[in-house]
Structure 1
Amino acid sequence: MGNYWRPWGLLTWILNRLSIDQWNLIGSFSTEERGLKVLDILNSDRKLASYNLFFVKDPPSIFTSDTNAQLKKQKRDLKSLGLLDFTKIHEYELFDRHSKLVKGIQNILSSFDDNIIIDISALPKRFFFPIIRLAMEDRTKKNIIATYTRPNTYGQLLAQDPEPWSPIPLFGPTKYPEPKVRRIIIAIGFSPLGLPDFLEQGYDQGTVNLLLPFPPGPPNFNRNWEFIRRLEKNLPSDVAPDPIRIHPWDLPECFDRLVNISDMGNDYTLLAPYGPKTVSLAMCLFAELNGFPVYYTQPKEYYPFYSEGVAEEDGEPQVFAYCLRIDGQDLYLL
């Protein structure tokens, strides 16, 4: 797990303790207000060197009208920050080819200097997993931070119409024939998005471990347990008896749990990131180190009111920053 201190905390607290004046940001342009908060903070603190935003376009749906209205509001917010530059907004279809996505990410990374912040707050896993992987593989980047902004509230409906169970881009099996899966680690979230149907079809490889965000706080507690209830009747018989409780925003703890559950990565493990973004980030880093596959049932449609606002405590926006690489040293290692 490496003998390194792995700093994390509120973004402003982290930035004030690093002797780096300017940062390049990879973020998102979406319907979510929180997706622009890191850009706002860096711009206000005069620490923004450059930025590029991924605009992930959903297929046409019953939500399209509301989505377009929300995007117009986000454009107004960007304009009020003095940052409405369409050359910095890169449009992709949700199911664009892997090769197109990889090339776009690499082009952005090559345009940046040493210091990068990757804001995963409003990026789909299908996009932020490859972004994190390609950034970590780029040894010219000396300092890499990931950020996550808590919203005020989540919508009752988040997404729908999931695709079949498949690997996230760049996180498919890397060995052929694929080794026998010893463990399946499922991060519990709000919606299983077709996962129970997949399990019902007889995917019974390996011991299943469930990661439960704790403390979730109401009403998230009920939604997490409803997720587990819907899985229970479809889970294989070889399931660890109790969910493993993890702090939803403590990236070092989440990562270390994955290392311990998998016997230091010796158990070939399949990862299923249905929980909080920070837990998904831990799975991304862990899978990248081990060459483990990450599977997901990607929804085709996201609700335009997926989240609202930005959470605050004592007047401080809850924007968390996680140092992944500092001065060329990777901090998340086995």
Structure 2
Amino acid sequence: MIRKSFRPWGALNWMLPRYPNARWAFIGSAAMEDRCLAARQMLNDHNANGASFIFRIQDGFSRFTDEVERKTNVNQDFFIQLGVQPAEIKNYELLGRDGNIFADINTFLNTVTESNLVIDISCLPKKIFFLLIRLALETPGNIRNILVTYTEPMTYCTEPLAENPSNWAPLPGFLSPRPEPTNKCVIIGLGYEPLGLPELYSSGLFKNSDIRLVFPFPAKPSSVSRNWEFARLLEPVPGHASRNIERVDPLNVPDLFDKLAAITGAGSTHSILAPFGPKPMSLAMCLFASAYSKRTQRPAVYYTQPTVYNPEYSQGVKQINGVSSVFGYCVRLNGTNLYTDPEAIL
């Protein structure tokens, strides 16, 4: 897809040298997955690390709690070995008060002395990273450059990745306009875990909406199979799912952002975004909903946030020619946000 604007993205190891002598503040997550450390490690390798804000999110209590905490403790210790100060690691509950989290984030964004910021979403729950990125993009010009990073794992668990989803509800900061427009489009990012969505779908919740299923492709055969199973759960009648599918490269955030604009008539049609797919696809939905948030028909983001995660969610970090596969997406460059509503008043 040819775009009018250039929105750089690619391997973080390639992008960092394009900002010579820059030091980067870092927001990430001390989590149970090995990949939570990779972006911070790469900043260290480039001698580019600055102040940090590290989330440590406690899931709902479950049979997995002890193992999740053990793995998270190990990775928290590794963060400290990478130079993160213990006071920079912040503890929150996934089911806790959102206001406390975002008040702390606002304080960090408005007081950090570095003019460059990395936000690593690899292991952050969508409930948190959606509003976090929107707040960062709305922060005045003291932060000149913002990179959002995502690390690919070596493998995903073949068992369910998450469970005990919350009710279908808007993510913080992304509510529908009131009253909700009757003419709307529901755009569902397909992933591995339906998290109760098929039951909502079959209940008729979306019966008066234009439905689009965003399918990650190309992908590994095993991933394609799991994504098709998700689609079949939503549209069990043969052939129905394929009529609604929009195929996108799951790593190409700029292309999906532009596709969302095209589907919604450049934001003129109200959309409900459901980010059940890979994190970069969810990032594109976040950027689109943030960019068009001032529209009368502003996009909403709804999700069934899981409250329990499998401690074997993923293993390792994917390597490409001996380098960790960490992608960087430039969302602000030299003080200018790159993902915007073209009709917004500057």
TM, length-normalised to structure 1? 0.94
Which whole-Å deviations, capped at 9, do the CAs of 1:181-229 have from their partners, x for residues lacking one?
4200000000110001111222123100011000111311111111111
Q: Which residue of 2 aligns with 1:186?
A: 188
Contact 2:31 2:76 in 1 (8 A): no
Q: Which amino acid aligns with 1:245?
A: R
1:75-154 map, 5 Å? 75-83=76-84, 85-113=85-113, 114-140=115-141, 141-154=143-156
Contact 1:312 1:318 in 2 (8 A): yes
SS at match of 1:16: helix
CA distance in 2, matches of 1:130, 1:298: 14
Q: Which residue of 2 aligns with 1:293?
A: 300
Q: Which residue of 1 aligns with 2:331?
A: 324
How many aligned positions are there?
330
Contact 2:171 2:303 in 1 (8 A): yes
Which whole-Å deviations, capped at 9, do the CAs of 1:33-74 have from their partners, x for residues lacking one?
111111111112110011111111012110011112212321
SS at match of 2:274: strand
Contact 1:324 1:332 in 2 (8 A): yes
- Higher mean alpha-carbon deviation, 17-26 vs 226-235, is at 226-235
State yes or no: 1:261 paired with 2:263.
yes
CA distance in 2, matches of 1:96, 1:65: 19
User: 1:324: how far off?
Assistant: 0.3
User: 1:81: how far off?
Assistant: 2.8
Q: Which residue of 1 aligns with 2:25?
A: 24
Distance 1:234 1:142, change over 3 A: farther
SS at match of 1:144: strand
Contact 1:196 1:234 in 2 (8 A): no
State yes or no: 1:48 paired with 2:49.
yes
CA distance in 1, matches of 2:244, 2:187: 13
Q: Which residue of 1 aligns with 2:214?
A: 211
SS at match of 2:339: coil
SS at match of 1:38: helix
Consecutive aligned runs of 4 or more in structure 1 exceeding 3 Å deviation: none
Distance 1:162 1:227, change over 3 A: same
User: 1:242: how far off?
Assistant: 4.0
Q: Which amino acid aligns with 1:210?
A: L
SS at match of 1:294: strand
Contact 1:24 1:51 in 2 (8 A): yes
User: 1:178: how far off?
Assistant: 2.2
CA distance in 2, matches of 1:111, 1:34: 28
TM, length-normalised to structure 2? 0.91
User: 1:320: how far off?
Assistant: 0.2
Equivalent of 1:315, from 313, 319, 322? 322
Distance 1:307 1:112, change over 3 A: same
CA distance in 2, matches of 1:121, 1:240: 29
Distance 1:181 1:93, change over 3 A: farther
For structure 2, the 5+ residue unaligned runs are 294-298, 342-346
User: 1:137: how far off?
Assistant: 0.5
Distance 1:205 1:90, change over 3 A: farther
CA distance in 1, matches of 2:311, 2:183: 37
User: 1:88: how far off?
Assistant: 0.8
CA distance in 2, matches of 1:2, 1:144: 20
Q: Which residue of 2 aligns with 1:162?
A: 165
Q: Which residue of 1 aligns with 2:296?
A: none
Contact 1:158 1:306 in 2 (8 A): yes
CA distance in 2, matches of 1:161, 1:117: 31
Distance 1:2 1:228, change over 3 A: closer
Distance 1:82 1:182, change over 3 A: closer
Instruction: Give me the CA root mean square deviation.
Output: 1.8
Contact 1:2 1:333 in 2 (8 A): no
